A = this chain, B = another copy of it.
């Protein structure tokens, strides 16, 4: 008899599970994927570049269409929202978004891949027109339409995280004057404060007065008749605007999991073990709705990223098909860009490392990213964070030209393999003048720390 696999959620992890199961010929199963949305498997990460205009058609953001899966034998149920999980009965309740009719679906194995959603802050008049969040393809389409129709070309971005910075780029490159409002003291707070400040200064410097970054302030209210016209901050600033993008963070879609008694963890994300199994028998979870294990902090965290969703989806599929796979966890590697500036990091920042109790030594340096005599040479700033006792590398932050993130990945590879800074500084890295310096900036940063460690 076929194993009945039911998947709820169609973002990244759900379709990945579907694809992997379809390739697992030795596992005889039926696959039914339910999503409340009208499409599956789209790249939410690509939305800022669609808004910017780099990608002309929103169709391109769709990685896989339902028909492709249907042709291979999986069943994709659009606009069917899962409203209840019944673990004891091995059933889910699914509601048709249009007709509101519900039906009971039986499963042998269930995968929860419900993703995350933008947090909507409780600010007065947030329901006004032209106030958007960024998550779905339709959000991107709506924002771009309004952006292109805007005459005043004034926008406000609320929140200075990754999406905020990416939307800032999109509006800046479309000729807007933009105010970015960040509640905390620093934009991109996942970086160490001094690195965040370098980024902020660089963004403002490049903007020719068109980008204004306000920190330590928050939106108190929106004003306008039908559409938003003004943003009022807690400190009393009043900003004229035509469009507002709200990106103050995301929350995992885990209400139905909690309701079913499935254990949650950090940030209310679903706790899973290294096989992507939840606390309930035969129920797996993967992607943005799950908690992650931080390999360096040896602690749970919630870092929802598309790259991790893909790895988790694969792991969940292998395990629910009866084979064995283990996903060890994450380092928190991430990257974004702002108008040619790459902003990337992996592992723990100095601030985080101290919070987790490490005795930290750190080094920040700015060097040319390739031989200084090459006209293409540009500055790259690298910060390495090392544990004084074990000498293990804990994290790296890099900002600079295009491939700064690839250097971060080289450190990520070393961190994941528990390398110490004195092992790392011997790393045989490629060298030619158009690509690096004879002593790569990464190794220079490691040398500085090493010299300090062995002097004391």
CB within 8 Å of B: which residues of A? 12, 43, 45-46, 49, 54-55, 60-61, 295, 305-311, 314, 327-328, 330-337, 342, 344, 346, 371-375, 402-403, 405-414, 416-419, 423-424, 426-436, 438-440, 447
Contact = CB atoms under 8 A, between A and B. Distances in A.
B428 A417 contact: no
A413 B438 contact: no
A286 to B, nearest CB: 13
26 contacts: A43-B438, A45-B432, A49-B434, A60-B373, A61-B373, A305-B431, A309-B438, A310-B438, A311-B426, A314-B447, A327-B426, A332-B428, A333-B431, A334-B430, A334-B432, A335-B432, A403-B406, A406-B406, A406-B407, A406-B435, A407-B409, A411-B413, A412-B427, A412-B429, A413-B414, A416-B428
A344 B432 CA distance: 10
A405 B403 CA distance: 10
Contacts of A429: 307, 333, 409, 412
A430 B335 contact: yes
A299 to B, nearest CB: 15
Query: How often does this chain occur in the complex, in copies?
Result: 2
Given A405-B435, A419-B417, A430 B333 contact: yes
Nearest to A375: B54
A374 B49 contact: yes
Contacts of A311: 426, 439
A306 B418 contact: no
Contacts of A410: 406, 409-410, 412-413
A435 B162 CA distance: 14
Contacts of A314: 447
Ranked nearest first, the 3 interchain pairs of A and B with the lowest CB-CB distance are: A406-B406, A417-B417, A307-B431
A402 B402 CA distance: 9
A438 B335 contact: no
Nearest to A372: B60
A349 B405 CA distance: 26
Contacts of A413: 410-411, 413-414, 417, 419, 424, 427
Given A43-B433, A45-B438, A308-B428, 11 more contacts: A46-B373, A49-B374, A55-B375, A327-B426, A335-B431, A336-B432, A342-B435, A405-B432, A405-B435, A406-B409, A416-B427
B342 A428 contact: no
Most buried by B among A331, A411, A418, A431: A431
Contacts of A46: 371, 373-374, 433
A402 B434 CA distance: 9
Contact of A430 (B346, B372, B426): B346
Contacts of A309: 438
Contacts of A342: 435
Contacts of A417: 413-414, 417-419, 423
Most buried by B among A49, A61, A342, A427: A427
A335 B428 CA distance: 12
A131 to B, nearest CB: 25
A432 B440 CA distance: 24
Nearest to A50: B373
Nearest to A429: B409
Contacts of A411: 413
A426 B139 CA distance: 32
Nearest to A337: B434
